[in-house]
Structure formats: structure tokens, C-alpha cells
Amino acid sequence: MEKRSSLEKYRLIFPILERETTMVEVSKSEGIPVRTLAYWVKRFSEKGTLGLERTKRKDSGCSRVLSQELKELIQGMALQKPRLTISAIHRKIVLLAKRSSMKAPSYETVYSIVTKINPALLTLALEGSKVYQQKYELIYRRECNTPNEIWQCDHTELDIYIIDAAGREKKPWITTIIDDYSRAIMAIFISLDAPSALNTAFALRRAIWRKHEPAWVVCGIPQILYTDHGSDFMSDHIKQVCTSLKIRMINSAVGRPQGRGKIERFFGALNECLLIDLPGHSVKGKPLSKPKLTLEHLESAVMDFILNNYHVTSHSTTGIPPIDRWNNGFLPQMPESLEILDLLLLTIHKPRKVQRDGIRFQGMRYIAPTLAGFVGEQITIRYDPRDLAEIKVYHEEKFLCKGICQDLAEMVVSLKEIKAARSAVKNSLAGQIKDSKLLLKKLTQAKIIDDNKIKPKDSTYQENINSSKTSLKLYKNE
């Protein structure tokens, strides 16, 4: 409401004083509250026209810099860690105001200042940048228009214990690839080993090639593979695969998992709708029932859940079952053959130089008659980590021959087994060295004790010495 001068106020209340009209009529015509008109009439009756003048503030003309400082102090205290209650802030401000000979603000004033602080500022100050990013930072969500435009790939340790080949209880890992557009599961790979580039390659092979299950029609080469910064995803092997298949790899920002929410949601559904009812399901790392399933049984149960439950149930976001949304007149791009796909995914390539005795790799020697004409030449080998008995040799990107390791020619030996054997030999040698050191230490200590042995000095011992001296014959005494 606009400020009115004392003259204007008198003009408005004069008809009321003269009983020419009522306060209600003036209130309606001028838009002034009846209580305000009554207050003006009372002030005029007590002090005349002076009562209609605006009263000056007691602190009029005084500097308000200190009041601004108090406000900033209140805001600063509200942003401190650990978080202070408004009552605690008010008590501190009252003490500071008294020391500065200022009028202390009321609790209501402090409450008003604190509650008007930007919530984003409070979150950043009190809960940190991670929570702030989750709540307030703008998220760019990729939206797809067709199936196979973006695939998300991730690993998680399942909340269940199963029985391995040796009868031990272990928690398995699952590698999952999901289509961003349809939410269809392109492939899964369950293993007792921790995530690796090879596990990711196995999952990609299953995702890209046609499935044996008639109901699992998803396949093809994606345009984009969206992953986190895991060492397996950042490996040279997976980068080479993506380059060869013309797949663009995109990694989510470090510490910002919002873009991977679709695959995380599947992991949650898997746990809540399937694993919770299986024997060996665990909570906080402890199984709630005795584990009974093997790796094959678990994989069969997960596949049944995907094909007969998840894929055929309408998704809450898209409103369409994932398998129907993917299969709606879509023609996927496929690799030329399964052999080419296996060559890319299930083999790793390394640069090497042909030596006079063949190709040396992983401490082994690979030979082939064809290599005789390429001694000293730079070549590229491709090998299957599951079987190092042979390698494929390429020269200037053309297949040259197969190199055979004579020591492994009759066996199928994986890189993992070779590394384990090497580790066992090394540990055995280290054990022998340790035993030798312990034996040497014992012998050395025994020698020191023997050299420093203290002979007893009792009287019997002295008598024996004296008697031995007197009984000894000397030539000069004869």
C-alpha cells in the first residue's frame, strides 16, 4: 500500500469525524482496511494532525553496515559443518551482538534468514559436491530413436552364493549388456571370476550374434557402447574390438553414474524379483539360506527370468515390453560371419618380431615353416587367452600362418593356467629360499652359543685343574 501524507489521511477521515459517512464505506471506496482508518481516527483524536504524521525509526540515519554483517554471520554459521541448529545459531549471534553493543536479532529473524538460504548452496556446503551433483547438477540424458543405437554394459556382483566345482561357496559376477532404446537385455555373462576384458568380450559376442533361444531375437552391432571407466572397458582389447566393428565407445563421467541408471535398474529388478527367492541369497554379504545352486543352475534361472518375465512385461517408462519395442520392424546390422566376430572378440593381438628360433611369447617359443622367410620382420600375432597352444600370425594385416608351441601342441592350456603355474613355481622357489635362510640362521645362532659357552667356576672344577697340573710329567723334572 502506498504511503500517504498526513493531509491525505485527514481528508479521508474528516467525513468519518463529521459522521457524514462510515469507516466501512470509506474502506470500500478507497481500498483502505477498516483497522487502518480506525487507527488514524484514534491518533487524530489524541494528537491532532501531528498524530497522522509518520513516526521515524529509532535507528533512522544510523549506519546499517553492522546489521548486514550480522546477516552474513548468520548465513555463514548456517553453512558450517557440522550443521548447527537455528537455536544454536541464534544463541551465538545474540552473544556477538551484545559484545558489539548492537541490538540482538530475534529468533524469528534468524529463522527467516536461515530458511531463505539457497537449498543448493546448503547442500554443497553441508553434504559435499557428490550429493550436490546428484541433486542439482543438470543431467544430459541420451534419448535413442532406434534399437541398437546405444548399448550400456556394466558388471555387478550378485547378491547370492553358489557352489563352485570344488564345492566352495562363492559369489558370482554378472556382465550385462542392455539396449538403451528398448531396455531389452542383449546378453549376459555370469562368472566366478572378477570382471575382465575377456568376460566383456564374451558378453559382446553373445550380444552381437544370433541366439540359440527362439524367443531371444535381439542381435546386431550397436552404434555406441556406453560404459564406465573400468579397467576392462578401457583395455586395448575392447578398444580394438570397437574400432574394428566401427562401434563408438563413450564412457560416463567419473563419479557420475546417473547415465547408467537403466542398467542399474535391471540389476535391482534381478535381485528383487529373482535372487531373493533362490537358495543362497545374501544380505550384506551373508547368505540367508544354504547355497545349493551351481553356476549353470544360476545362469539357467537368470535366463528364464529375462525371457519369460522381464522381456515380456511392459516397462514402466516406455509402456511396451522390451522385446516388442526392440523387434518392431527393426533390421539389425550383422558382422560378415561368426568366425570374423570370434577373431575380433576372442583373440588379442600383439606386435612381435620373428627371431631365428621362431616367435617368443609368454616365455614360450612358437614355430612354423613359413616363418623362415620372415626372420627379423615385424609381425602381429593373435591369440586366444583360453588356448595358448597356437597363435595366428599376420604380416602387414594379412594372415600368414599358425605358430605352434611344441611344448603345448597336444594340450589346451589357457593363459590363466600358465600364469597360475608360473606363480606356483615361483612360490615354491621362494619357499625353498625361506627354508634355507631359516636353517642358516639356526646354525649360525648355535655356533655363537657354542663359542660363547661359559665354563663353571666352582671349587671342584678348580681342584681338577690343579690335580691335572701336578700329575703332568715334564722333562725338566726328570
Write out the chain's pLDDT in tens, 478 residues. Answer: 456 777 888 788 888 887 888 888 888 888 888 888 888 888 888 887 777 777 665 545 443 444 777 888 888 889 988 888 999 988 988 888 888 777 888 888 888 889 888 888 888 888 887 777 666 654 445 668 899 999 999 999 999 999 988 889 999 999 999 999 999 999 999 999 888 888 888 899 899 999 988 999 999 999 999 887 777 788 888 888 888 889 998 877 555 555 567 888 899 999 999 999 999 999 888 888 999 999 999 999 999 999 999 999 998 888 999 999 998 878 889 988 887 887 777 676 788 899 988 888 888 888 888 888 888 899 988 877 666 778 888 888 788 888 888 777 665 545 565 566 557 767 777 778 887 778 777 777 766 655 555 455 454 545 544 544 444 444 444 4
User: For residues 113 and 437, what is the distance between their CA atoms, to the nearest angstrom?
Assistant: 73
User: For residues 162 and 208, what is the distance between their CA atoms, to the nearest angstrom?
Assistant: 28
User: For residues 408 and 402, what is the distance between their CA atoms, to the nearest angstrom?
Assistant: 14
Write down the pTM of the prediction.
0.54
**Integer angstrom CA distances of residue 60 from 64, 103, 466:** 10, 14, 119
**CB within 8 A of 15, min separation 6: which ones?**
21, 26
User: For residues 467 and 304, what is the distance between their CA atoms, to the nearest angstrom?
Assistant: 100
411, containing H or E segment: none
Q: Identify the CA nearest to 195 among candidates 240, 158, 220, 242.
A: 158
